[in-house]
Structure 1
Amino acid sequence: MGVRVVLADDEPLLRAGLKVLLEADDRVDVVADVGDGQKLLDAVERHQPDVALIDVQMPVLDGLGALRVLAQQPDPPVAAVLTTFDLDEYVAQALELGAQGFLLKDAEPDALVRAVLDLAAGGAVLDPRITARLLPRMQLAGGRLREAQLLDALSGRERQVLNLVACGQSNAGIAAELGLTEATVKSYVSALLTKLGVSNRVQAALFVQRVQGGAS
């Protein structure tokens, strides 16, 4: 069975186009496409998808509201936000609500499919163009030195795992790269999130990029 996806966007033509692009790959199955956040929640309950691609601005319930509700569920799908350059102020809020991916609506078809597959495998997905816009908004005054010190306190193996997380690798990919079991990698990732004071892999990836950007 392929990766089960729910699309949520209030533009019918965009949804139709995304569905065609995704289902051109037989590893992806779009089980529902909806036009508002409440219908998204209904579709998630009905279809139990692996991945939800969510627009920010939608009627009835917007994307941030839908993310807030999904975050309270016991086993929600992996959520990725579909956005545009003029909505990047919402990305930081979506990150705080647990979004694991951020994709621009004009992403190349193969990049979109790869992103969905990576998300389903447990990876984090950040379009580089979004990252470039997002990082300056997330710089905390006086916080860069403390973040650098947190990174310096990690062991060599922890740094290896963290760097692969920052590249969007799933636990399985990290395990294969480092010759570890997935269970061991999962333990490393959980410990890293706690040590860095972040709540998910995307925040960990941005943490690394902030510090590296500040050091360059």
Structure 2
Amino acid sequence: MPTSHSGSVVDGRVRLVLADDEPLLRRGLRVLLEASGHIAVVAEAADGDELLAAVREHWPQVALVDVQMPGVDGLTALRTMLAWPQAPAAAVLTTFDLDEYVADALEVGVQGFLLKDAEPEVLVRSVLDLAAGGAVLDPRITARLLPRLRMASGQRRDVERLRALSAREQQVLELLADGRSNAGIAEELGLTEATVKSYVSTVLSKLGAQNRVQAALMAQRAASPGGGQG
């Protein structure tokens, strides 16, 4: 059964569910995340079934999920969970063995990829950004993904789509790729959140991206050496 640590409403803190089959890792992550004072781990899960049960019980704002869990794996659980209307923002917790599942994870709608050995402040900031609607990508993961993505036949098409964006849309995409939420983009550009939301929708549509993470990867791929943007 999922391990519960608090109720579903936590004053002023982001509610988080942690899913990983290693108890020591879950415990360590919970300690460092809650030490920030901004995050409450409302439940832990050791497999996909426990993750789904924990989310249904607590309806957290964020879920950090290891894909490679026994029984119902994380990717299968994410596919189910992210189809729910009240689904939390979700990021994959991973090591460097990304290739076999990154495309599927993006397709089901995850909002980020985080390394399990990331610095505490990086993990805390990432959780807060996810709760605010941002997308998160550990730079080391991006560096691992880009060579693989550069081999894809759609790279030139991505560059062409990026060049079709207006100057303001390019600004929005740059901030989105930096992990900013709509509120963060609005503050940076002096716009309303409603205006930013409209820009983000337009950017995703023009790029043919299903979510913010895909858009961020497309932008970073095109801007990387050999990407063709410039």
Give the TM-score category using the shorter length. Answer: over 0.9
Q: Which residue of 1 aligns with 2:228?
A: 215
Q: Say whether the 8 Å CA contact 2:33–2:123 is kept in structure 1.
A: yes
Among 40, 47, 52, the residue aligned to 1:29: 40
Q: Which residue of 1 aligns with 2:101?
A: 90
Choose 69-78 or 129-138, whichever is displaced more.
129-138
Q: TM-score, length-normalised on structure 2?
A: 0.90
Q: Say whether the 8 Å CA contact 2:59–2:86 is kept in structure 1.
A: no
Q: Which residue of 2 aligns with 1:103?
A: 114
CA distance in 2: counterparts of 1:144 and 1:116, whole angstroms = 30
CA distance in 1: counterparts of 2:181 and 2:50, whole angstroms = 29
84 and 154 in structure 1: CA distance in 2 versus 1, 3 angstrom threshold: same
Among 146, 170, 178, the residue aligned to 2:157: 146
Q: Say whether the 8 Å CA contact 2:62–2:90 is kept in structure 1.
A: yes
Q: How does 1:34-45 map to 2 (within 5 A)?
A: 34-45=45-56
Q: How does 1:52-201 map to 2 (within 5 A)?
A: 52-139=63-150, 141-201=152-212
Identity %: 69
Q: Which residue of 2 aligns with 1:48?
A: 59
The DSSP-based 3-state class of the residue aligned with 1:89 is coil
Tell me the alpha carbon deviations over residues 115-163 of structure 1, each in whole angstroms, 9 at most, x when there is no partner.
1011101111000111111123233544222221111111111111111
The one-letter amino acid of 2:190's match is: G
CA distance in 2: counterparts of 1:115 and 1:95, whole angstroms = 17
Structure showing the higher helix proportion among its residues? 1
Q: How does 1:4-19 map to 2 (within 5 A)?
A: 4-19=15-30
Q: TM-score, length-normalised on structure 1?
A: 0.96
CA distance in 2: counterparts of 1:113 and 1:48, whole angstroms = 19
> Number of aligned pairs?
216
CA distance in 2: counterparts of 1:144 and 1:203, whole angstroms = 13
Q: Say whether the 8 Å CA contact 1:88–1:130 is kept in structure 2.
A: no
Q: Which runs of 5+ in 2 are unaligned?
A: 1-11
Q: Which runs of 5+ in 1 are unaligned?
A: none
Choose 145-154 or 24-33, whichever is displaced more.
145-154
